[in-house]
A and B are shown apart, each in its own frame.
Chain A
């Protein structure tokens, strides 16, 4: 599904995003990436999703090289950003939800149908006409997630989906990820949620390297990752 070989990323200002590493993700897997602040989790997520070009190495997503056919990759990939404010830009929640479907050429009828379905599920039906930037933090996150799930991407990338939301929204997001019919790659600081949700956990250290790939966290790993 995703194959990354010897990839690394260095930011324009010269700081290292993450050091050389290789990752293989299979279809239907739920992968968590954990690590202390500044260990390179978010950058790794951006590169694995094809949004940033790795400084060295190659990424293949669904067998496609993103440099050759970025649009094919985008259709099948959804990315939830940690800060919904940089992500939501349309003038109403409705426009936000239909943004990708209308690019995909869905009929107006189908768009309306799907929008009302997903709005129901995410409890945002009442705010469809509101501008997204006026919403609360939890609402913004739900709108952002709904606007991705509406086109059912095969791979979901989520950067800190559980951050800055109330307990109810957190549970809701957890449920969605647990039952999602597709591959899920996410970062999080909530270790309990990570352990119960992920099939595999990639642990990164402050040296911006992968120090473990495991399905069960233990004290030694957490200590090495500066999380204890």
Chain B
């Protein structure tokens, strides 16, 4: 479920960085928990995610723990704990892309945690077991569907949004049952020993975040309409920095129609490689001498 680099269009990636940061900064202010405690709990979720649960058919599944984090720590501290896990996974393990980090945070640290928390709060009056099962199951399924929407809307990924989102929905809807069972088992065990006490956050903020989650696909759709799928390239073109203008600048007389483009790119590329090689060798030498 960690989206790697290259699946999302940059404008979508940027949008989800924005959305995630908005919610996480608020959550960070609101979470009343010591940074060290939070770090250890995040490490525990991280370790729990590495367990390999055997499932029928001889393969195995992983536990994500977003719903659990929301229930145990409350949505604010829970979303921060999940963010820590995701940042570590990206920066230490290369699990999930750096441009896609905003979207991954949105799906697994926000949608999964908050939806898990909402579902748990709604159903806990009927049964704690059922509520935590649904929180685990629905949280992960919705997070995965959100990932499907983001990827599907991206023009870099040629499948449509309906295909991508429904594949993710069905697949994780089935796998999510495992998430639900484990979440329920963890919560029911913990409630035999301690009060499962998540701080109750203000209703208005929770409602606003819920609205943001519901509207996120629409935001993504709108961002895609702007059609700046390759903003950097558009900028480069606007600045007139493409190969043809440069090429005619250096070799104005060179006119072999047809091959020009191809060779142009090849030769520009070769010059580029030669240049970076030169700088690289110089750097390596300088660095070696210094130490």
Contact = CB atoms under 8 A, between A and B. Distances in A.
A and B held together in a complex: yes
A168 B192 CA distance: 31
Contacts of B193: 91, 131, 133
Interface in B154-199: 189, 192-193
**Chain B interface helix/strand/loop/mixed:** helix
A89 B192 CA distance: 10
A132 to B, nearest CB: 10
Nearest to A131: B193
Interface in B186-235: 189, 192-193
Contacts of B189: 89
Contacts, number: 5
Contacts of A91: 192-193
Interface string A104-141: 00000000000000000000000000010100000000
B30 to A, nearest CB: 31
A91 B190 CA distance: 10
Contacts of A89: 189
Nearest to B194: A133
B260 to A, nearest CB: 56
B281 to A, nearest CB: 35
Contacts of A131: 193
Nearest to A91: B192
Interface string B57-87: 0000000000000000000000000000000
A133 B192 CA distance: 11
A89 B190 CA distance: 10
Interface string A69-107: 000000000000000000001010000000000000000
A131 B194 CA distance: 11
Nearest to B192: A91
Contacts of B192: 91
A131 B192 CA distance: 9
A44 B189 CA distance: 31
B275 to A, nearest CB: 41
Nearest to B189: A89
A133 B189 CA distance: 13
A131 B193 CA distance: 8
A158 B176 CA distance: 39
Contacts of A133: 193
A166 B192 CA distance: 29
A89 B189 CA distance: 9
A14 to B, nearest CB: 16
Interface in B90-127: none
Nearest to A95: B192
A67 B192 CA distance: 34
A84 to B, nearest CB: 15
5 contacts: A89-B189, A91-B192, A91-B193, A131-B193, A133-B193
The 5 closest A-B pairs by CB, nearest first: A91-B192, A133-B193, A131-B193, A91-B193, A89-B189
